[in-house]
Amino acid sequence: MNEAFAPALDVEWLRRVEQFYYREARLLDERRYLSWLELLSPAILYLMPGRFVPLARASAADPETIHAPDKELSGYGPRALPLREEGFAHLAQRAERALKPNAWAENPPPRIRRFVANVEVEPLAGGSVRAWSNLLLFHSQQGRADHLFSAQRRDRLETYGDHLRIVEREVRLDGDTITGPSVALFF
């Protein structure tokens, strides 16, 4: 998807993915975390890179790369410190915890609304699809300042029976310093 022009649009796939995202967002907004787990592949990789401010390096050969967002990301290698890097078991533990009465960051629960936009899809072989989307997450709790998290999501979804499920999700937060109380949320 580095090219300026998108390939011919596969409307069927786009609709499917959009509807999947809207339903996913509604499940999460309604705090149905266990139902949300059903949308995940047991092999899911859930990633969130750290982000920092590097020293700009110009490239005469490719001037657009000077401020490429990739240069601001921590990455996930053995010498990196991503914000999150999880599998299904982690997400399941988070989901179960969030529904306990003594999970004090969730009781009373934050009110969260997720807005999914700018969906782009690229069908891959074997019934899976790469999808880009923008996420705006509104977070409000306990009369404190409300927070907005803005992020890009880069997903890989696969067909499973008649449905889609998430095999990989990378959440690239836009905030420099994180100003919300936690990013231990479902993005």
Q: Which residues bind another protein (CB under 8 A)?
A: 48, 50, 52-56, 74, 78-86, 90, 93-94, 97, 100, 102-105, 142, 144-145, 176-184
Of residues 150, 181, 172, the one with CA closest to residue 48: 172
Q: How far is the CB of 160 from another protein (least distance, A)?
A: 26
Indicate the residue among 78 and 126 with the shorter CB distance to another protein.
78
Of residues 186, 172, 165, the one with CA closest to residue 20: 165
Q: Where are the beta strands (DSSP E) in 50-95?
A: 84-86
Indicate the residue among 128 and 141 with the shorter CB distance to another protein.
141
Are 166 and 40 within 8 A, CB to CB? yes
Indicate the residue among 1 and 81 with the shorter CB distance to another protein.
81
Query: What's the token pair of residue 123?
Result: 């069908």
Are 134 and 155 within 8 A, CB to CB? no
Q: How far is the CB of 6 from another protein (least distance, A)?
A: 32
Q: How far is the CB of 13 from another protein (least distance, A)?
A: 31
Indicate the residue among 164 and 171 with the shorter CB distance to another protein.
171
Of residues 184, 187, 27, 25, the one with CA closest to residue 106: 184
Q: How far is the CB of 101 from another protein (least distance, A)?
A: 8
Of residues 92, 166, 86, 180, the one with CA closest to residue 136: 180
DSSP H helices, 6-134, are 11-29, 33-37, 88-98
Indicate the residue among 86 and 158 with the shorter CB distance to another protein.
86
Chain centroid to CA 170 = 5
Q: How far is the CB of 166 from another protein (least distance, A)?
A: 18
